[in-house]
Amino acid sequence: MWVSLRTSRLRVRSSRARVSGSDGVYVDVGENGMTNSQETSGYDKLDAGTLTEARVIEMVFPEQTNHYGTLFGGQALALMDKAAFIVASRYARRTVVTASSEKVDFHVPVRQGQLVELIARVVGTGKTSLTVEVDLHAEDLLTGDRRLCTRGSFVLVALDAHGRPTAVPPLARAS
């Protein structure tokens, strides 16, 4: 549920201030002046190692296409890398960077005006790395027809606060 807290002015006189909304939303202003917001009723937290799939939906616009009216390969790679980054970040709960794109296969073109749905899955972990497979599906908005257009594999590395590789949770294997 999206909740907005509207206020014309928030004045902080002490190092910690709390503004509560009637719907259970609060804004906590800490000593550094930053705010932490959360919904106090029904608040969930996703721990590291729990989320292994993410989906991203984008529209293909003319500036993303070539002279054939199809999605540039580099644009497809950028979208896939973004989806891989999202699932790896949510899985590791760490800063992650792309180390490599292992294999990318372009099966069929994506046309201007289509939706692309990227499905990114963590399929393996090393000590500090995550392997993410990404499928890019195109959908025709008028007919609802969908097809797998591109599939790729990416390796991302988790980093600590000093930019050094750091451990990631092992991937639980399905039995």
Specify the pTM.
Answer: 0.73
Indicate the fold that domain 53-159 takes in CATH: Thiol Ester Dehydrase; Chain A (3.10.129)
Alpha-carbon distance of 158 to 134, in angstroms, equals: 18
Q: Where in the chain is the domain with CATH 3.10.129.10?
A: 53-159
Decide: helix, strand or coil at residue 121. Answer: strand
For 100-117, write each residue's pLDDT tens digit.
998 999 999 999 999 999
Decide: helix, strand or coil at residue 161. Answer: coil
Query: Residues 6 or more apart from 14 whose CB is under 8 A from it?
Result: none
For 135-155, write each residue's pLDDT tens digit.
999 999 999 999 999 999 999
